[in-house]
Amino acid sequence: MLRARASYLLWTVALCALYCLHFRHLLADFPNDSPWMDFSKYTDEGWYANAAIRHFLLGRWYLPGDFNPAVAVPVWPLLLAGVFRFTGVSLAAARATVLCVLGLNLVLVYALIRARAPRWAALLAVTLLLANPFLYAFSRLAILEPLSFAFLLCSWLTALRLPSASARARVPLLILTGFLLCLLVLAKTTGIFLIPSTLFLVSWACGFRLRPTLRAIAITSLAAALPWSAWYWLAIRPRYLNDFRYFFSANSWPIPDTLTGKLAAFWYALHGTLWISPALCITVIVLLLLTLIAACRSVFWRNPLVPASLLAIAGTLFFIGWQNRPAPRYYEAVIFPLCIPAVLAVAHLFEARAVNQSDSPSPPLRARKTLALLPRIAAAAALVALSIVSINGIVHTIRYVRHPQYTWLTAATNLTRYIDTHPAPNRLLLSISGDQIALTTHLPAICDDYGPWDLPYRIHVYQPSWYAAWNAIDDDTLADLQTQFSIEQVAAFPAFDAAERDLLILYRLHPLPADKQWFPAKPQNSLDPGRSPSSPADP
């Protein structure tokens, strides 16, 4: 017993050390030349934090006509606003916050598995997650996926407590579960595709009996719908409806209109899970097949975490295929429910071996002996495979830790320094990566690619003096800029690794004479733009 406790303690200390490695080189690039080319590293950290950034740098969280995602996903910027109050606006603070959320997710995964399996299985799941270089890379980006999945895991934990709760405590637990689902959707709107996994656990807690299940689901759904509806009807619809609608239209992508195209989209969505780890995915599939034929199948498939995890994976993959957008960052929501059934399968295979041995009243025949050993052999082979996956992942993770690159920090700092040392009528920058630069260097910025106002009217209102583009100016953007400015390339800064986005080019915008400028009329149903982002903020 003492030796087992010491082993668990050493294992836990090793996991804590591996987790702490994630905090090294917080300002370093997303690993360049990695297998995961995701454009979120250019934009998303700034976009989804821009309400908190503006609140502290400009005195206002909302800029009319610019991209304002906080109207649809307010939870992350609210959390960052609380952090920034103590740390100031900082890319390091944002990334440290998301890593704290990762730590919470690891604790939640441990608690979920520990409630249904031995301690070693829970520690194995945490090991698979911390040793995964894919998760290491994306968990260090201050994006929405980690926080949204934290709310999902919390809702699973509360749903699993329902069977052991007293009759008086069940309704509050259902209300809490529903409120967590509301926060899940307000943290990331695609969280709606994960809700069925929690509702399954609620149904399981009711024994799948029709009337209690319908009642529990109704309470949970109402607890989720009421706060979301209050946010929409009291905050969004009166003032920010255009921005809310634009958020969803801006995130829509061309969807195939043929059956073959749709099937191909879902195939690529499924194929994208290999980004996480081909070896891990193959091991999980093999383990799931083994549990169908092994003696543990009745125990394994009755474990509610298994169907819930598979529903979460299916929901995420359905969204990716339906949206026809297999971006690597979306699979951060797949790796957690992928590891859970993997370790549960290994644990139940070991339990099946024990059952087989204890159920044999007399020495079995050779064939029966062989069949009894199969679960043990499968579990041992799976442990070896998962150990190899973990060791290989740790090696790759340490390689990333030992060779950090700071191309983005250097480019953003040098761009800001250039603007500050070359006076212009307005310090404001126009760029698709503007919010990312603002988070890094506090340079005021608006986005050229996203926003409910047409770009000519937006630049007429805010009058930026600078424009930054990756590698070249888009023809449509150039035409819009030339309605009011002449453009002069003044500097270029290398950053990141994509062939089409590895050079951040800075342009000076010179206003044309008033009689040669053209811009459209003010969009209907839009708010008054007020003062420009570069002007002093209200006290």
* DSSP structural state of residue 200: H
Mean pLDDT lowest among 322-326, 329-333, 403-407, 475-479: 322-326
Question: DSSP labels for 260-281?
Answer: HHHHHHHHHHHHGGGGT-HHHH
pLDDT higher than 50, residue 125: yes
Residue 372 is predicted with a pLDDT of: 55
pLDDT higher than 60, residue 473: yes
The mean pLDDT of 213-236, rounded to a whole number, is: 96
Q: What is d(CA 260, CA 269) in angstroms, rounded to the nearest whole number?
A: 14
Q: What is d(CA 288, CA 418) in angstroms, rounded to the nearest whole number?
A: 57
More confident residue, 525 or 222: 222
Residue 357 is predicted with a pLDDT of: 47
The mean pLDDT of 8-12, rounded to a whole number, is: 93
Work out the angle between the directed axes of helices 305-323 and 259-271 (0-180°, nearest 10): 130
Residue 404 is predicted with a pLDDT of: 95
Mean pLDDT lowest among 174-188, 249-263, 498-512: 249-263
CA atoms within 13 A on the CB side of 152: 34
Convert the pLDDT of each residue in 392-435 to its tens digit: 999 999 999 999 999 999 999 999 999 999 999 999 999 999 99
Residue 535 is predicted with a pLDDT of: 36
Predicted model pTM: 0.92
pLDDT grade, residue 373 (50/70/90)? low
Continuous H helices in 450-508: 455-462, 475-481
The mean pLDDT of 382-400, rounded to a whole number, is: 93
The mean pLDDT of 518-524, rounded to a whole number, is: 74
Q: What is d(CA 7, CA 532) in angstroms, rounded to the nearest whole number?
A: 60
Is the distance from CB of 431 to CB of 467 less than 8 angstroms? yes
Q: What is d(CA 145, CA 134) in angstroms, rounded to the nearest whole number?
A: 13
Residue 348 is predicted with a pLDDT of: 86
pLDDT higher than 80, residue 130: yes
Three-state DSSP state, 524: coil
pLDDT higher than 70, residue 139: yes
Residue 259 is predicted with a pLDDT of: 82
From the candidate CATH numbers 3.40.50, 3.40.190, 1.20.120, 3.80.30, the one assigned to the domain spanning 407-516: 3.40.190
The two three-digit tokens of residue 92, written as one number = 């390091």
Q: What is d(CA 381, CA 372) in angstroms, rounded to the nearest whole number?
A: 15
The two three-digit tokens of residue 236, written as one number = 């969004």
Mean pLDDT of the chain: 90
* DSSP structural state of residue 296: T
Q: Which of 13, 17, 10 is nearest to 394 (CA)?
A: 17
Mean pLDDT lowest among 225-239, 284-298, 421-435, 521-535: 521-535
Q: Which of 101, 95, 189 is nearest to 137 (CA)?
A: 95
**Which range is most confident: 36-40, 297-301, 383-387, 436-440?**
436-440
Residue 538 is predicted with a pLDDT of: 30
Q: What is d(CA 84, CA 106) in angstroms, rounded to the nearest whole number?
A: 24
The mean pLDDT of 447-452, rounded to a whole number, is: 94
Is the distance from CB of 123 to CB of 168 less than 8 angstroms? no
pLDDT higher than 60, residue 362: no
**Which range is most confident: 201-210, 342-351, 381-390?**
201-210
Distance of CA 114 to the CA centre of its chain: 25
Residue 291 is predicted with a pLDDT of: 84
More confident residue, 373 or 494: 494
Please report the sign of the dihedral spanned by the C-alpha atoms of residue 62, residue 68, residue 72, residue 77.
negative
Convert the pLDDT of each residue in 38-82 to its tens digit: 999 999 999 999 999 999 999 999 999 999 999 999 999 999 999
Question: DSSP labels for 303-367?
Answer: STHHHHHHHHHHHHHHHHHHHT---GGGGHHHHHHHHHHHHHHHHHHHHHHHHHHHT-SSPPPHH
Residue the block writes with tokens 């700092």: 413
Task: Determine which helix (DSSP H) or strand (DSSP E) holds 221, and give its type and residue range.
Answer: helix 210-231
Q: Which of 381, 342, 331 is nearest to 128 (CA)?
A: 342
Mean pLDDT lowest among 260-264, 388-392, 443-447, 461-465: 260-264
**Which range is most confident: 2-11, 276-285, 286-295, 357-366?**
276-285
Neighbours of 472 (CB within 10 A): 11
466-470 and 501-511 beta bridge pairing: antiparallel
Give strand pairing partners of 97. Answer: none
Residue 434 is predicted with a pLDDT of: 97
Report the share of the chain in percent with pLDDT over 70.
92
Residue 518 is predicted with a pLDDT of: 83
> Torsions phi, psi of 468, nearest 5?
-125, 135
The mean pLDDT of 230-238, rounded to a whole number, is: 95
Buried b / exposed e over 231-252, threshold 16 CB at 10 Å, is: beeeebeeebebbbebbeeeee
The two three-digit tokens of residue 8, written as one number = 């668990």
Q: Where are the domains of the chain?
A: 407-516
Q: What is d(CA 520, CA 266) in angstroms, rounded to the nearest whole number?
A: 41
The two three-digit tokens of residue 10, written as one number = 């050493």
Residue the block writes with tokens 């209102």: 461
